[in-house]
Structure 1
């Protein structure tokens, strides 16, 4: 009983209680946070979220690519009102181009196709039989001359694996 009355022992107990009162809440919070942070995984490996562009950033990027394609093809310029202009358009590479323009039978035309973005697209032009070529998405137009055109031309452009961006086309009649 002499120990219970010892002032050093009472002071030590007080420090132990003070330490316990301070450490228990901290350890409890650490334990709860540690246990709950992995509860969503349920034993599965953690997956880092992939960064994704915001809708406005994607829209801005699409507008930039559309403008590049339009400039490369001369779409929207004053010569669109020229009698030689037939048609033009823009699509996402994921949608592709599938158009069947009506032409004047036997005349000659120029087809220009451009892809702005990343990757490559497959261009198929069917006059009498399909002619295919790969076009890089580098904003540089590819031009084809179509002589003795049929009444209806088939133009198909499909994005290849990993391609993204905007693909455009323009058809003009060749002057005689």
Structure 2
């Protein structure tokens, strides 16, 4: 049904309605501000203030500089800082944050022996898992000392993973090499 133009009614805001809208808006802003700001009052915890350029860091996190330093430490421990394709025994290597862990499935020749080297630097411990015919699961400290395992591939793909234990931080690196016969 069409409404003729001369019959269109204009709505005038009601003074009470306008007051209610303004009051509700002001209350919403006050609630949002109260919920999102740090409260140092008697009923709320007082948070330490930080400068604008400084971020608060969770005690279990490491900074980018720490990660870089720890990454260099584990790569040096495994000799992966300058490894290349010209090494005929080299299979693969990698570097990850402990919090991310590493997950790899290198393609290996069935029946051939390999040396897996893993190093973790930082704090805490990680769990290394190697899915073989006889699975390997080892807990290792993030002390920068490499752990070496000799494995023989029973299938073409072997799954290798690490996971951090609670509170562990730092960097973890691995290297897989063929073992000469």
**Taking structure 1 as the reference length, what is the TM-score of the superposition?**
0.70
Number of the residue aligned with 2:13: none
In the aligned structure 2, how far is the partner of 1:128 from the partner of 1:39?
A: 57
Q: 1:52 to 1:160 in 2, by over 3 A?
A: same
Q: 1:14-35 CA distances to partner (integer Å, 9 max, x unpaired)?
A: xxxxxxxxxxxxxxxxxxxxxx
Q: Secondary structure of the residue that 2:69 maps to in structure 1?
A: helix
CA root-mean-square deviation: 2.4
Work out the number of aligned pairs and report it.
136
Alignment partner, residue 86 of structure 1: 91
Within-5 A mapping of 1:131-170? 131-170=136-175
Provide the residue aligned with 2:15 in structure 1.
none
List aligned pairs for 1:105-124, cutoff 5 A.
Answer: 105-124=110-129
Whether 1:172 aligns to 2:174 is no
Shift of 1:41: 3.0
Cα-to-partner distance string for 1:43-69 (whole Å, 9 max, x where unaligned):
12334469539xxx8111111001001
Question: Which segments of 5 or more consecutive residues in structure 1 lack a partner in the other structure?
Answer: 1-37
Q: Is the 8 Å Cα contact of residues 39 and 45 (structure 2) preserved in structure 1?
A: no
Q: Out of 118, 127, 135, which is 2:132 matched to? A: 127
1:158 and 1:45 map into 2 onto residues whose CA distance is 34
In terms of fraction of residues, the more helix-rich structure is: 1
Given the superposition, is the C-alpha separation of residues 83 and 149 from structure 1 closer, same or farther in structure 2, using an over 3 Å criterion? farther
Query: Counterparts of 2:178 and 2:134 in 1: how far apart (Å)?
Result: 21
- Give 1:131 deviation, angstroms: 1.4
2:81 to 51, 76, 87: 76
Distance apart, 1:147 and its partner CA: 2.2
> 1:121-145 deviations in whole A, cap 9, x for unaligned?
0000111142111010000000000
* Structure 2 portions without partners, runs of 5+: 1-37, 51-55
